[in-house]
A = this chain, B = another copy of it.
Amino acid sequence: MDETLLDIGEVARQSGLAPSALRFYERKGLIEAVGRNGLRRTYLPATLERLALVTCARDAGFTLAEIAAFLRAGPSDAVLREGMAAKERAVDERIAQLTRLRDSLRHAVVCDHDPLVECPAFKQAIRRVSVP
């Protein structure tokens, strides 16, 4: 066996993901095992990088299906870059929305109104969050 191959337990430990999650990702087409050691899946070390990418994208709110599509976009980078540009715009919008929300919360924390829900500034701020 190639010494550089990692079995599923090793990948689980190093990636911080559960083995069940790794198998789940495989079913979803996010990663692939290169072979087996007995029944145990073995992975290329590069899989760890791929998992970092997956985790990052997932944390960012991408669905696993979206991520799989990205990864499958394959070496034809044009599609990939186009998708990424679209996602950049989406993330930008999300940041703007969360920023408005944070500003509303910031006001809420220092606002004198009681009950807070009746504060005109708060009400207006809340409305701005979803409808900029």
Residues of A whose CB lies within 8 Å of any CB of B are: 49-50, 52-53, 55-56, 59-60, 75, 77, 80-81, 84-85, 87-88, 91-92, 94-95, 97-99, 101-102, 104-106, 108-109, 114-117, 123, 126-127, 129-130
Contact = CB atoms under 8 A, between A and B. Distances in A.
Contacts of A98: 60, 91, 94-95, 98
A84 to B, nearest CB: 5
Contacts of A104: 56
B129 A108 contact: no
Given A105-B87, A129-B59, A117 B81 contact: no
Contacts of A106: 88
A80 B119 CA distance: 14
A87 to B, nearest CB: 6
- Copies of this protein chain in the complex: 2
30 contacts: A50-B117, A52-B130, A53-B117, A55-B130, A56-B130, A59-B97, A59-B129, A59-B130, A60-B97, A60-B129, A75-B114, A75-B115, A77-B114, A77-B115, A81-B108, A81-B109, A84-B105, A84-B108, A84-B109, A85-B105, A85-B109, A87-B105, A88-B105, A88-B106, A88-B109, A91-B98, A92-B102, A95-B98, A95-B99, A98-B98
